[in-house]
Amino acid sequence: MLFWERSALPLATEGTQECIWNLSFNERRMAIELELTKYLEEEEVDMLINHFSVPADYDGLGSKGTRFVFYM
């Protein structure tokens, strides 16, 4: 089941505005997968993960930017 794909949803990170490239649900992992339109540095990834209100992990680099996974 796909929630958004190649969307232009704004995401504020450190005073800049970036967008979500892909947001989808992976049934096999039982998790929401998020890919940004920007590649983040390790410090930015750590800072962003600490602000999420649900368990989340860095999921590597996607075709357009940094990927995260949110566990249900």
Q: Exposed/middle/buried for 21, CB within 10 Å: 0-12, 13-18, 19+? A: buried
pLDDT, tens digit, 9 for 90 and up, residues 6-36: 444 455 555 555 688 999 999 999 999 999 9
pLDDT of residue 20: 87
The pair of three-digit structure tokens given for residue 53, joined into one six-digit string: 């209100």
Backbone φ and ψ of 63, nearest 5°? -70, -25
Locate 25 and state its tokens.
Answer: 């649900």
The pTM of this model reads 0.73
